[in-house]
Amino acid sequence: MTLTGLFRHLFSYRMRALVKKEFNQIRRDRRLQISLVLPPILQLTLFGFALSSNVSDLRLAVVDDNRTPESRELISTLTESKSFRLAGYYASVDQLGDAVSRGDADAGLVVPYDYARDLARQRPTTVQLLLNATNANTATISRAYAQGVLQSYNVNLRQNGIHLQVQPTVAPNLARRGQIQLQPAFLFNPGLVDSWFIVTGVLGLLLILNSTMVASASMVREREAGTIEQLLMSPASTTEIIVAKIAPLFFLLSLMMLAAIAVLRLVFSVPFRGSLLLLICAGCLCILSGISIGTVIATFSRSAQQAQLTSFFLNPPLASLSGALNPIEAMPKWLQPLTVLNPVHHFAAIVRGTMLKGGGFADVWPNFLGLFLFTLVLVSLSVRRFRKQLS
């Protein structure tokens, strides 16, 4: 079909009638409307706040072999922070180890007997932090907290020319007291606001899942109601029917995307360092691939309920294999390549690349290409399936 032919097609009276009908149906469909307005606000906010990995009120057991005002100051600095509270004093490291392994405490702090003396002599001194790594995530985070607290404590001390170091030891490995010192530098998210990581990932999930759901529901509806036959007997071609079905959804989902980006910016103050246009283009591709997934699901389903259940089945792998909520690096090696097949992964990479890093097309093009190819494959697959189902 030539381009002008296509345009004549798109603006024909039939197309107008078809699109108008879809909009009229959407206008009557309260549930669909709500699912287009509520998710960007509710899901983003909920995920952003609830999924955040901030940890507070960890129970800190303490062995203070030093018992000086300086050691007590260190302990109170730690326990007065939001992250730790004092669980009790223990006489020996062994007892403390037991307390941690029994679960009476989440973390332990050992202050050596020469702590105050070293400080007074302006020598670097070392305190030991024991962490219950049963919950590895919490352990990592508490270590980071402790480091953070001590770092700022150090700043105070450094004014006096003193330097304090923390030596983390993970509880099950009490015997192997490592001497490695971490000096992490958090780039692009200096405050380590982890909601930025979460919400930028959730944005992609939100687009894909909602597009899938809305598209499958609206595609299957015509079949469920039995009106598809009537539509097929009309002079409208299958292309016209498909385009007319997708266009209004695409339009509304794009509006939803803009609303979601606004929430990102306004509620979570995610910075906007890169190109907005690039982001929106990626978002549109993401919506299209979501719509295609929904259409494919719809062609395999006899009822709206079935379609809904199938998309529920699809959600978890899409979410967990995307790197949107959890780092890909944390997955087993053999699972990691699968993320390449996930549009959410590419979109999340693009969002983070542009919003947080300020990268341009040159930086994210591999992901862009991935997303584009994925969308292309899905769209053509869904159009084929839909056509086959129609004939």
Partner 1 sequence: MAEGHTQVIAATPVREVDRDAAEGLAATPAIDARDLTKRYGKVEAVRGIKLEVRPREIFGLIGPDGAGKTSTFQILAGVMEATSGVANIFGSPAREMRSQTGYLTQSFSLYPDLTVAENIRYCGDLRRISPQQIVARGQQYLRMFDMDRFADRLAGKLSGGMRQKLSLICALVPQPRILLLDEPTTGVDPVSRREFWDALAHLSADGLTILVATPYLDEAERCHRIAFMHQGQILQIGSSTELCASLNAKRIELRTPDLRKTESILASHSGPDDDILDVQRFGDRLDLLVRDPDQAQQQVTEELTRAGVSIEEMHVDQPTLENTFVARLRALGQDLHSSEFPSRHNHSSLRGQIAIDAKSLLKDFDGFTAVKNVSLQIRNGEVYGLLGANGAGKTTTIRMLCGLLEPTGGSMELAGATGNLRSEAVRKRIGYMSQKFSLYDDLSIRQNLDFFAGVYGVPDAEREEKIRWVLSFSGLEGKQDQLTGSLPGGWKQRVAFGAAILHEPDILFLDEPTSGVDPLARRAFWTMINRLADTGAAILVTTHYLEEAEQCNRLGMMVAGELVAEGTPSGIKSRQTGHLLQLIVDQPQRAVDLLKHTTEGWRVSLFGERLHLITEDAPEIAIQQTTQQLEAAGLRVFSAREDRFSLEDVFISIVEKARLEGKVSLEK
Nearer to partner 1, 13 or 334 (CB): 13
From 6, 232, 276, 277, residue interacting with partner 1 (rule: CB under 8 A): 232
Nearer to partner 1, 219 or 263 (CB): 219
Nearer to partner 1, 232 or 262 (CB): 232
From 9, 10, 14, 320, residue interacting with partner 1 (rule: CB under 8 A): 14
From 54, 134, 165, 234, residue interacting with partner 1 (rule: CB under 8 A): 234
Does position 17 interact with partner 1 (CB under 8 A)? The reply is yes
* Residue entry with tokens 């203070």: 64
Q: How far is the CB of 382 from partner 1 (least distance, A)?
A: 21
Piece in contact with partner 1 (CB under 8 A), picked from 11-19, 166-174, 186-194, 252-260: 11-19
Measured CA to CA, the distance from residue 86 to residue 73 in angstroms comes to 13
Q: At what angle do helices 194-225 and 304-320 cross, to 10 degrees?
A: 160
Nearer to partner 1, 62 or 217 (CB): 217
From 11, 229, 269, 317, residue interacting with partner 1 (rule: CB under 8 A): 229
Contact 39, 206 (CB under 8 A): yes
From 8, 20, 384, 388, residue interacting with partner 1 (rule: CB under 8 A): 20
Nearer to partner 1, 32 or 207 (CB): 32
**How many residues lie near partner 1 (CB under 8 A)?**
24
Pairing of strands 125-131, 84-89: unpaired
Show the tokens assigned to 271: 């910075």
Does position 156 interact with partner 1 (CB under 8 A)? The reply is no
Does position 320 interact with partner 1 (CB under 8 A)? The reply is no
From 6, 34, 136, 225, residue interacting with partner 1 (rule: CB under 8 A): 225
From 33, 92, 165, 230, residue interacting with partner 1 (rule: CB under 8 A): 230
Does position 305 interact with partner 1 (CB under 8 A)? The reply is no
Does position 227 interact with partner 1 (CB under 8 A)? The reply is yes
Does position 21 interact with partner 1 (CB under 8 A)? The reply is yes
Measured CA to CA, the distance from residue 157 to residue 165 in angstroms comes to 11
Does position 101 interact with partner 1 (CB under 8 A)? The reply is no
Measured CA to CA, the distance from residue 61 to residue 104 in angstroms comes to 8
Q: At what angle do helices 361-390 and 276-300 cross, to 10 degrees?
A: 20
Backbone angles phi, psi at 81, to 5 degrees: -70, 165
From 29, 65, 98, 194, residue interacting with partner 1 (rule: CB under 8 A): 29
Q: Count the neighbouring beta carbons within 10 Å of the beta carbon of residue 10.
A: 15
Which positions from 236 to 255 touch partner 1 by CB under 8 A, shown as an x/- string? xx------------------
In the complex, the residues that contact partner 1 under the rule CB under 8 A are: 13-14, 16-18, 20-21, 24-25, 28-29, 225-227, 229-237, 391
